[in-house]
Structure 1
């Protein structure tokens, strides 16, 4: 007999706890080892690219007293090597890695709600058996919002260069020109600080963050309550209500997902901007979310759950992962090609820092290989999209590969030549991942895996491609 409710066993909880502890141990080892668990090949690599990120030489030098971007310049030139090995350098990596992981797993949570909502808005029936998986992913929205606000107040000065108050006044109190003044960042002050002055409290930035998470969470709670009420009472009235709420969420998501990408990621490189960046982050989030949904579906089916899910349903999930891996590549290449071809300095510096830097160029090329070529080649055939072994392989590759994508988006603009990849990064990813999976599986164990009164269940049952 099919198991209708997921049994979150003590053994599975123990495995997730072990994964969390292993991640914490790797994080601590990274703190104790020289260079944070990464073999340092040289102290000067990429320092010229870091300098370009902040504009002029004067501006980079002016920031060297700060704990954030400025110290990366000093340490890249060899002045901070002793500190980077134990404490200062590692702790800065800890701060940035914490932000990277929170942004990445926030994306998985809201993509879960996005996938759930779009099935109702599109009146899709094929996915009725798996809808509770993306709904469970959305339970991470509240913890993610709390962590995001706390992380900003604790580490925001090190993550976001625009928070430095000395960048905004043109003149000092004595009437002399301010050597730290940055005209580009000062021109964007209203976007962060309105209605206050630049360099004060970024009320507009924080307000957007709170509103986005609040709206996502409230709509998630509404959709969840309607879905569970449908289980109890039946009828198609709840389906129509969820369709209306889903349409509202999709409109809000269309705006908030792009603006949050500008706020939480693109504003790290404050001098740089791309009109395609919101789409780029959405594509990376979406394919990662699809991979997680597919992976959980396959693993549940192998564990004896979801017997109604057939190779046809898995084929559709595989097609989504395949298609949106290509879509992500299309957006990546479009953004890169336009900037590369125009070769405008204020635009190209973003890719110069990643493409030509000894620190980041290996990740730049690995990003394309892992997130495009591997999913494309493995899932190209029809049979591969219907076989568990290939789906599991590609989904794991995508989940790791797009975390690397977010690492590459944020680390160069925050740590510059001090940025590394080692035990610290792996440990943080394991810790966040294990907690995220724990929350998702806990949610799955609290309601039926299949919405038993969903009006589209007959369509899902006879789904064939």
Structure 2
């Protein structure tokens, strides 16, 4: 094993957010906004709001995954990841903005009756109304507008505040050089994991599963968590590789990539396990109130995407990442990360579209515009946050272990 000294690397190195990265992210935002505006006029508000919800939820999940990754590393007292923590910290710092945008999308979509119309409709809980739905009325103590928005605001607010505090304490390590910041970050990380672990399934039930309020699955929260964490890991890996190619993060080596690849591989297997368990149990039980969910996704327009989701998100990472050498090669890891990010977009697409959009065939301006706008905005905000601080947590107590990491 080679040895390294802190004098070998420039731990005060900063990423300068300028040039092509800034230009392309701003261009994506502008083009996305234009396409979104055109989508509203040409393809309708129902389809457009479904796509805005998809991307707003996706970006919020990735940012939350960044906060979750930091918290897990701190609570586990992991040393290998110390050199890359600034990347998930930048994602966690972006979470408040993503959460606010998501809440605005949900509120706007509900106001125009383009979202959540399965339970948020006039007279649906009134026994005297021709639109009365006994099943929805039975859930109305939970599924009502005040309670729904209270949970959204409280949960997303808690994730954002705790994630921001964890990142701030880590940044403060660079200023005072003591362990005070690390100890505070450790405590807040433990709190974050408890809060996030118990509340995220409820938040996911509200945000996505209630789009089809007649249907429910107790596995849905963990299924979404697996997708959330895999997507977050892919973004962390993608940014790490691109920064290295730009001449940054010289203290990060193939061993760090290997560990990130192992995590992506493992959580892709976990995602598949929950996906299969949910699908198999509903198929085997063959209860109409359950099978209706998959019946919609087996319509001719959606069935190819249904199977493509499992191929991309399970078969591809298993066949590619099972090889040790692949996880240590930047080009191949870059390909896998981009593939899985596309795969989990399709996964969210299949969760949202069949039960939300009445008539929808193919992909158009709504999909392209929302992807461009939110991808550009996420890139802009994360890289801007990343540029505010040194790329290395130079006073992190386990940084030396990260420098010597070898597997």
Specify the TM-score bucket, using the shorter chain as the normaliser: over 0.9
Equivalent residue number for residue 121 of structure 2:
164
Kept after mapping to 2: 8 A contact 1:412/1:419: no
Q: Decide which of 384, 387, 394 is 1:442's aligned counterpart.
A: 384
Q: Which residue in 2 is equivalent to 1:354?
A: 297
Aligned match of 2:249: 306
Query: Gaps (5+ residues) in structure 2?
Result: 1-8
TM-score (norm 1): 0.82
State how far apart, in whole Å, the 1-side matches of 2:308 and 2:38 are.
Answer: 25
Compute the displacement of 1:27 (Å): 4.2
3-state DSSP of counterpart to 1:191: coil
SS at match of 1:163: coil
SS in structure 2 opposite 1:429? Answer: helix
Partner in structure 1 of residue 20 of structure 2: 11
Q: Which has the larger radius of gyration?
A: 1
Secondary structure in 2 matching 1:158 = coil
Question: Matches of 2:261 and 2:31 in 1, distance apart?
Answer: 31
Counterpart mapping for 1:54-133 below 5 A: 87=42, 89-133=43-87
Please tell me whether residue 292 in structure 1 is matched to residue 235 in structure 2: yes
1:96, 1:159 within 8 Å by CA — same for their partners in 2? yes
Instruction: Work out whether 1:459 is the aligned partner of 2:401.
Output: yes
Counterpart-to-counterpart distance in 2, 1:409 and 1:419: 15
- Could you say which residue in structure 1 is the equivalent of 2:170? 227
Tell me if 1:381 matches 2:335. no
Aligned counterpart, 1:341: 284
Note the C-alpha offset of 1:158: 1.5
The range that moved more, 155-164 or 328-337, is 155-164
Q: Any unmatched runs of 5+ in structure 1?
A: 32-85, 172-177, 194-201
What is the alpha-carbon distance in structure 1 between the residues aligned to residue 266 and residue 231 of structure 2?
A: 12
CA contact 1:235–1:455 (8 Å) conserved in 2: no
CA shift at 1:30, angstroms? 5.1
**Which segment is superposed worse, 16-25 or 449-458?**
16-25
Deviation per residue, 1:155-188 (Å, 9 max, x gap): 11211021113111112xxxxxx32110000000
Aligned residue pairs total 395
What is the CA-CA distance between 1:363 and the residue it aligns to?
Answer: 1.1
TM-score, length of structure 2 as denominator length: 0.94
In structure 1, how many angstroms separate the alpha carbons of the residues matched to 2:122 and 2:361? Answer: 24
- The 3-state SS of whatever aligns with 1:217 is helix
Match of 2:103 among 141, 144, 149: 149
Using a 3 Å threshold, how does the CA distance of structure 1 residues 210 and 24 change in structure 2: closer, same or farther? closer
Q: How far did residue 203 of structure 1 move? A: 0.9
Shift of 1:408: 0.6
Distance in 1 between the 2:103 and 2:31 partners? 26
CA distance in 2: counterparts of 1:336 and 1:304, whole angstroms:
45
- The alpha carbon displacement at 1:153 in A equals 2.2
Question: Runs of 4 or more off by more than 6 Å in structure 1?
Answer: none
Q: Partner of 1:416: helix, strand, or coil? A: coil
Q: Residue 24 of structure 2 contacts residue 376 of structure 2 at CA under 8 Å; is this kept in 1?
A: no
Aligned to 1:186: 137
| RMSD value, Cα | 1.5
Q: In the TM superposition, what whole-angstrom CA distance separates every residue of 1:231-273 from its partner, at most 9, and x where no partner exists? A: 1111223222211110000000012211111000000010000
